[in-house]
């Protein structure tokens, strides 16, 4: 597969020095720009605040307190960068957990450089296509300041923003819930978040966007909207409290 003259930038999380060094040298020889190698997930997430890789290679068992799957979850929630697992974990349970983070690939050590390069190229290529497709869909979506139109079988239905209770991410799609209906959206939650008015909606969890005006109660780390208990993510709780009118 032919690549452009611009080097694709790779960030690596690997706590085995020998593997990390070999991986970095092999990728550099193949024309990639290896930005950095981090031993822990915490270090990688900090590095990603200032560096913009085209793809992240993750081991699952890392130094530090969080594993590669948890790191991938954080990347998916806050960034838009493809992930490729390179790990010694062969068990089915780990694979199933990893699949939930929608990786570009899952390769087993010891790596074959040709196989790794193919996975990197396909991962970056497919991610670029996906972003272009989502951007086109968002541009073409029928949205106004007060409402949007949602596909329901063979017709488009008008849904007022005020009537939306919440949106829940479910694997590769999302459910938009009103008092009357539940609609299936083929957008990731990050795209939906940009479509909705920010003064009315807020991301309160990696899987939920809520209509702030529809919140009926908050108990501990849970929001209640129309008998639905919605979890509040730790990273979102403080901002939620600021935005609510609490006396």
Give residue 221's pLDDT: 92
Query: Burial code of 132-150, b = ≥16 C-beta within 10 A, e = fewer?
Result: eebeeeeeeeeeeeeebeb
| Residue 24 reports pLDDT greater than 50 | yes
HSE toward the beta carbon, residue 6, CA cutoff 13 A: 4
Mean pLDDT confidence for 8-20 = 94
Residue 246's pLDDT band (boundaries 50, 70, 90)?
A: low
Question: Hey, what domains does the chain have and what are their CATH numbers?
Answer: 9-138 (3.40.50.2300), 147-243 (2.40.50.1020)
The first and second tokens of residue 99, run together, are 């699949």
Residue-wise pLDDT tens digits, 186-223: 777 888 888 899 899 999 999 999 999 999 999 989 99
Q: Report helix, strand and coil shares of the chain as percent, to nearest 5.
A: 35, 30, 35
Q: What are phi and psi of 131, to 5 degrees?
A: -65, -40
Give residue 207's pLDDT: 93
Residue 113's pLDDT band (boundaries 50, 70, 90)?
A: very high
- How many whole angstroms separate alpha carbon 121 and alpha carbon 226? 46
* Contact by Cβ (8 Å): 76, 56: no
Total length of the chain: 247
Q: Residue 149's beta-bridge partner residues?
A: 158
Residue-wise pLDDT tens digits, 127-165: 877 665 555 555 445 667 789 888 777 778 899 999 999
Mean pLDDT confidence for 20-24 = 95
pTM for the model stands at 0.56
66 C-beta neighbours (distance < 10 Å), count: 15
């Amino acid at each position: 597969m032919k690549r452009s003259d611009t080097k694709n930038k790779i960030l690596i999380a690997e706590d085995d020095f020998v593997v990390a060094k070999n991986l970095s040298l092999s990728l550099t020889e193949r024309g990639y720009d290896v930005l950095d190698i981090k031993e822990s997930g915490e270090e990688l997430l900090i590095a990603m605040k200032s560096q913009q890789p085209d793809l992240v290679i993750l081991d699952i068992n890392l130094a530090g307190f969080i594993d590669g799957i948890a790191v991938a979850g954080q990347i998916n929630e806050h960034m838009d960068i493809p992930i490729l697992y390179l790990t010694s974990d062969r068990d089915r349970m780990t694979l199933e957990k990893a699949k939930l983070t929608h990786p570009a690939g899952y390769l087993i050590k010891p790596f074959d450089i040709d196989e790794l390069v193919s996975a990197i190229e396909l991962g970056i290529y497919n991610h670029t296509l996906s972003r272009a497709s989502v951007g086109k869909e968002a541009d073409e979506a029928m949205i106004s300041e007060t409402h949007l139109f949602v596909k329901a079988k063979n017709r488009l239905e008008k849904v007022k923003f005020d009537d939306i209770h919440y949106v829940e991410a479910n694997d590769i799609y999302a459910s938009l819930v009103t008092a009357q209906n539940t609609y299936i959206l083929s957008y990731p939650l990050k795209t939906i978040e940009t479509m909705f008015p920010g003064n009315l909606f807020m991301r309160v969890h990696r899987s939920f966007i809520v209509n702030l005006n529809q919140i009926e109660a908050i108990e501990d780390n849970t929001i209640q909207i129309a008998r639905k208990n919605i979890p509040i993510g730790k990273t979102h709780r403080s901002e939620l409290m600021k935005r609510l009118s609490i006396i």
